[in-house]
Amino acid sequence: MKPLVSILIPAYNAEPWIADTLRSVLAQTWPRKEIVVVDDGSRDETFSVAEKFASAEVKVVRQKNAGASAARNHAYKLCQGDFIQWLDADDILDAEKISRQMAHAENADKKVLWSSAWGRFHFRLSHATMKTSPLWADLSPVEWLLLKMSQDLHMSNKSWLVSRELTEASGPWDETLSLDDDGEYFCRVLLASSGVKFVPEAKSYYRISGTGGLSNVDHSPKKLESLWLSMQRHIRYLRSLEDSARTRAACVAYLGNWVNYFYPVRPDLIEAAKQLAATLGGQLELKPLRAKYAWLEKPFGRPFASHAQTVLPNLKSSLARSWDLTLFRLGG
């Protein structure tokens, strides 16, 4: 009998997207699958839309709002799969995604972590963009983390396929984290693995929602403290694999890539990041503003210029999203 793959979907206020997401998982060509949707106290009709898909293959439950990590942990407790596919409620899997990974994973070492290609889209999936990354390769845990942290790279959650054995060895999602919880979780999965194997023909798609991503960080104390905790753990995880000049340099680069998110509201965390960089043999400064925004610093101050550098690209992305929605509705 083929292994069972559990597709686990936390959902919060995903009414516009959840049906498309569920149709994509039901279309998976892998013959044995189960889908578990956990509605995390949505205030819209997410649960009622998802419930229409309920069947022997699709379980839909709800909980009081407790955050995405709590919803993922709940979904995992309900599943029976030999392999785990994590999926956000607005994203899409290519119909062959799981089958193509399982073609390699079915009889392989259960400690291998399987990755895949992934692209971004707004509304028109046919216009999704795939951007090749150095992470799209077979890599040891230390080399994968070294690349991610030194070059500020990212692998979307949905690209992974994880055996139950590896999931158990990694531990649950940390429900105290409210920002970069996924980055911290998959670091632990990586540490427990024997390495990453990349399956280029397997594909998934990340919906650009207009509200997610670190360019839209909520600068509340809880969010930024969660980010800082995840950063410290990333550094500890990499150094647990290899504590060398190159890994320490990667950690300093990683701090430099992220420290600007604390400006200007948390100077204490900026100072803590500088002190940590010093213990690693490096120096840390705020990254300079891009040229098109740097001129604003002199007349208006660094906080204004920094805010403009964040807000204006987001506005451009919002306009692109609105245009794509218009074309989507017109059938373009």
Residue-range domains of the chain with CATH: 5-207 (3.90.550.10), 217-329 (no CATH)
Is residue 83 within 8 Å of residue 18, measured between CB atoms? no
User: What Cα–Cα distance (Å) separates residue 146 from each residue in 133, 241, 259?
Assistant: 14, 10, 18
Is residue 273 within 8 Å of residue 225, measured between CB atoms? no
Tell me the pLDDT tens digit for each residue of 109-135: 999 999 999 999 988 888 889 999 999
Tell me the pLDDT tens digit for each residue of 67-89: 999 999 999 999 999 999 999 99
Is residue 118 within 8 Å of residue 159, measured between CB atoms? yes
Tell how strand 112-121 and strand 195-207 pair up.
parallel
User: What Cα–Cα distance (Å) separates residue 323 from each residue in 123, 316, 320, 330?
Assistant: 10, 11, 5, 11
Per-position b or e across 236-271, b if 16+ CB within 10 A of its CB: ebbbebbeeeebbbbbbbbbbbbbbbbbeebeebbe
pTM confidence score: 0.91
Tell me the pLDDT tens digit for each residue of 31-53: 999 999 999 999 999 999 999 99
pLDDT value, residue 215: 36
Tell me the pLDDT tens digit for each residue of 257-267: 999 989 988 99
